[in-house]
Amino acid sequence: MPQSAKDELLTVAETCRYLKIAPRTLYRYIQNQRLPAFKLGKEWRFVRSDLVQWLRQRPRVRRRRA
């Protein structure tokens, strides 16, 4: 049965690309329980729809361009 895009499981590398963050930042978010994640065996996995919801709930921060 094909997985729908919203329920797609992402790896650490895929999640870093999706969120545009470094792996170190991703692991820090996991450690501080700031990001929805679970372990599948020894590997961390992320549900795309959970990440979308997490992004929507985060406060927006404007960054100055140098």
Question: Token match 């329920």: residue?
Answer: 7
CATH of 5-57, one of 1.10.3470, 1.25.40, 1.10.10, 3.40.50: 1.10.10
Q: What pTM, to 2 d.p., does this model score?
A: 0.78
46 phi and psi, to 5 degrees?
A: -135, 135
Q: Are 25 and 11 in contact (CB under 8 A)?
A: no
The domains of the chain are located at: 5-57
- Tens of pLDDT along the chain (66 residues) come to 445 666 899 999 999 999 999 999 999 999 999 999 999 999 999 999 999 999 999 877 777 776
Query: What is the pLDDT, as a whole number, of residue 64?
Result: 74
